[in-house]
Structure 1
Amino acid sequence: MPQEHSVPDVLPVDGAFARPAPEADLQSAAEALRSNGFTVSLADTPADARALVAGLLPTDRSVLTATSETLRESGIAEDVDASGRFRSVRAAQADWDLAARADEVRVTRSAPDVVVGSVHAVTLDGTLVVASASGSQLAPYASGAARAVFVVGAQKVVADLPTALRRIETYSYPKEDLRAQSAYGARSVVAKVLVYGREVFPGRATVVLVRQAVGF
């Protein structure tokens, strides 16, 4: 008999949040981020961001890639985790029984030397906003990692914090929910939100703003 396949539940998506912000907004966000203690670079394309990030990452320190469509689509996740050039946390744990070693996974992924990931929104006043179901990437983002690198598509630049939260609920979350159903057979949820408004340690956090849309 043919196997039955469940049809994913599809939440409505606000397509307005898929449009890249204009250059003037990118420049405003970049300047505000710098004022808030972040190091900022702009890249024209995801390929340019990929090359830039490869040059930023150390080859002699542990690097964790957060689960991110931005990193997957741009090829950054593949560079870090599969090239052999970097000391990838995920590559080192590829043959682990993650459930059996859950405490080790939690500790090592909470405090790598470097975390590379993305966020769901950047406001014009220079605040990064990211949502999570488990919160696993929020610890290294906020303080666990000695350095953090965020790669952010232009469609994620928004006016303010309320708009950032609305973008999460009506765009990023529905897309992640669909991805989670396909990848894990489970629904996602917006359980924890990090509002990262300032970096007090100079040089710790770098934001690479991409002039094209990448990720969600």
Structure 2
Amino acid sequence: MDDHKRSYYRNLSQTLVKKFARRGIDALYCDTAAEAKDAVLELMPSGSSVTWGGSMSIEQAGILDAVREGNYNIIDRSDKGPGEDPRIMLSKQMMADYFLMSTNAFTRDGELVNIDGMGTRLCFLVAGPAHVIVVTSMNKMTRDVPSALQRIHDQATPPNCVRLNIPTPCAATGACGDCHGANTICCQEVITRHSREPHRITVVLVGEELGY
């Protein structure tokens, strides 16, 4: 990223931090993914219980690897035993100290906009874990909620369906098919316009592009 865009992101982040604060959400800015990883680790005290939702952003930033190597009580949803009721793992994640995720988009006024399939990522954004850390690159900012939803359908869902090998129309064509079949991952739309519990949600804005 060139110096001009980096300066732009730094200046914009100051405005966004104030917008998020008005909504009861903490926010901070990091130039790079490496800095974001360090910032996230600093937010979580040693010994904390940590879990996460599916996110290319936190993987690409090296955050999951760092958590696994750190002194944390990890609640990994992939550790669900064969035949185990999935609600058991969900209940463990619900009680975590920290939930890590990204956001599909956010507005310049500080709203988080997300779409999910089963809702097992977004349910923890809404309630449950004591703290939620949202790592998102600055390029996911949109003008408003409608444009955020459009961004998700056009830019986030198709590559995610390809990554997850989900046979949706958008995976095949690259364009949203407004599908309603069993395979669709666009089932739940969640707009976080305010955190009723102040400081529960922290958004880590990153100058480098991450995820979709």
- Shorter-chain TM range is 0.7 to 0.9
Which digits, 9 at most, give the CA deviation of each residue in 1:191-213, with x for residues without a partner?
11110011122221111101121
- The unaligned stretches of length 5 or more in structure 1 are 1-18
Answer yes or no: is 1:140 the counterpart of 2:124.
Answer: yes
> How far apart are the structure 2 equivalents of 1:39 and 1:54?
16
Residue matched to 2:186: 190
Counterpart residue identity of residue 178, structure 1: V
Percent of residue pairs bearing the same amino acid type: 25
What is the aligned partner in structure 2 of residue 5 from structure 1? none
**Which amino acid counterpart does residue 189 of structure 1 have in structure 2?**
I
Cα shift at 1:120? 0.7
CA distance in 1, matches of 2:53, 2:86: 17
Deviations 1:169-214 (A, max 9, x none): 00100011111108xxx95521111100111222211111011211
Counterpart CA distance in 1 for 2:184 and 2:71 is: 33
Shift in Å, 1:27: 3.4
CA shift digits 1:135-161 (9 cap, x unpaired) = 101111111111111011011111110
Contact kept in structure 1, 2:47 and 2:71, CA below 8 Å: no
CA distance in structure 1 between the aligned counterparts of 2:82 and 2:111, rounded to whole angstroms: 33
Give, in whole Å, the separation in 2 of the partners of 1:45 and 1:106: 32
8 Å contact from structure 1 (residues 124, 157) kept in 2: yes
Instruction: Return the alpha-carbon distance in structure 1 between the equivalents of residues 209 and 138 of structure 2.
Output: 5
Which stretches in structure 2 are left out of the alignment for 5+ residues?
A: 167-181
Corresponding residue of 2:174: none
- Counterparts of 1:170 and 1:85 in 2: how far apart (Å)? 39
Are the equivalent residues in 2 in contact too, given 1:121–1:158 (CA < 8 A)? yes
Cα distance in 2 for residues equivalent to 1:42 and 1:86: 24
Q: Is the Cα contact below 8 Å between 1:25 and 1:157 reproduced in 2?
A: no
Aligned residues: 192
1:205 paired with 2:201, answer yes
CA–CA separation in structure 2 for the residues paired with 1:188 and 1:178: 12
Q: Which residue of 1 aligns with 2:139?
A: 155
Provide the C-alpha distance between the structure 1 equivalents of 2:91 and 2:48, rounded to a whole number of angstroms: 16
Partner residue in 1 for 2:106: 122
Rounded Cα–Cα distance in structure 2 between residues aligned with 1:84 and 1:104:
25
Is 2:71 the partner of 1:85?
Answer: yes
- Cα displacement (A) at 1:130: 1.3
How much is the aligned-residue C-alpha RMSD, in angstroms?
A: 2.3
Partner Cα separation in structure 2 for residue 138 and residue 51 of structure 1: 24
SS at match of 1:189: coil
Paired residues of 2:52 and 2:99 also in contact (CA < 8 A): yes
TM-score normalised by length of structure 1: 0.81
Is the contact between residue 61 and residue 210 of structure 2 (CA under 8 Å) also seen in structure 1? Answer: yes
Query: Residues 10-159 of structure 1: matches in 2 within 5 Å?
Result: 22-23=8-9, 24-80=11-67, 82-90=68-76, 94=79, 96-97=80-81, 99-159=83-143
Matched residue type, 2:52: T
**Normalised by the size of structure 2, how large is the TM-score?**
0.83
> AA paired with 1:106?
L
Structure 2: which amino acid aligns with 1:200? R
